[in-house]
Amino acid sequence: MSTIYNPESDLTAQIERLELEARDIRRKLQQAHLPEDKRVLERQLKEVEHEVELLKAKLP
């Protein structure tokens, strides 16, 4: 039995993985005490959210 390649499923899986990563970053951000840590985590969160937006734009 052969499987058909579906690029949409790859994009969806990547989006889901990034959304889980964003959730983890948000949790760490809530627990962060130092301003430097918060700043780094906020930057990471923005980058992940931006990547999710770009991937969602590629979906039909």
| Averaged pLDDT for residues 14-22 | 98
CB neighbour list of residue 58: distance below 8 Å, 6 or more residues apart:
11
Select from 36, 59, 58, 55 the least CA-distant residue to 47.
Answer: 55
- pLDDT tens by residue, 37-59: 999 999 999 999 999 999 999 98
Grade residue 7 by pLDDT with cuts at 50, 70 and 90: confident
Q: Are 2 and 49 in contact (CB under 8 A)?
A: no
CB neighbour list of residue 60: distance below 8 Å, 6 or more residues apart:
8
Which residue spans within 1-60 are E strands per DSSP?
A: none
Q: Which helix (H) or strand (E) holds 21?
A: helix 7-31
pLDDT of residue 47: 99
Share of the chain above pLDDT 90, in %: 82
pTM of the model: 0.83
